[in-house]
Amino acid sequence: MSSYGLEILSTAQCETLLRTQKVGRVGVCTGRAGVFPVLYGLLDGDVVFRTAPGEKLIAAALQREVVFEIDSFDVGARTGWSVNVLGIAEEIEQPDELARAEALGLDPWAGEIRDRYVRIRAVEVSGRRVVAPTI
């Protein structure tokens, strides 16, 4: 008989996985909940992404708690992992921090101008992995 297990990932494992991806999802609630895909990078361990005016920027202006998520799954093997970063969103406005964010090379895929940078100051980083079956 085979069984699957759920492994809780350490913070270090989560941070390593965060460096393996370029696209994640940001969940915000500024009166109306939404989940948005973003290109991201890491700055001093915090998630940074570019955006245009809208819900994500409103969340940053209000310094709201947001959640960021990345994952990878193999549906056939029924394995995968996910990492969540819970934190406070804030717009990057200081010139030195803005220069560092711009150096991340987060060129937007979407056609509209996305010239604002948002940082998620991590409060909690957690992750889980569905491990392969044992026989």
Q: Exposed e or buried b for every residue in 97-114, given b needs 16+ CB within 10 A?
A: eeebbeebebeeeeeeeb
Look up the pTM and report it. Answer: 0.89
Alpha-helix runs per DSSP H in the chain: 11-18, 55-61, 95-102
Tens digit of pLDDT for each residue in 8-33? 999 999 999 999 999 999 999 888 88
* CATH number of residue 48's parent domain: 2.30.110.10
- pLDDT per position as a tens digit, 65-81: 999 999 999 988 889 99
Residues of the chain with pLDDT > 90, as a percent, come to: 73
Residue 23 is encoded by which pair of tokens? 């696209």
All residues at 6 or more sequence positions from 60 whose CB lies less than 8 Å from its CB, including other chains: 51, 89, 90, 91, 116, 118, 119
Domain enclosing residue 98, as ranges: 3-134
In the chain, the number of structural domains is: 1
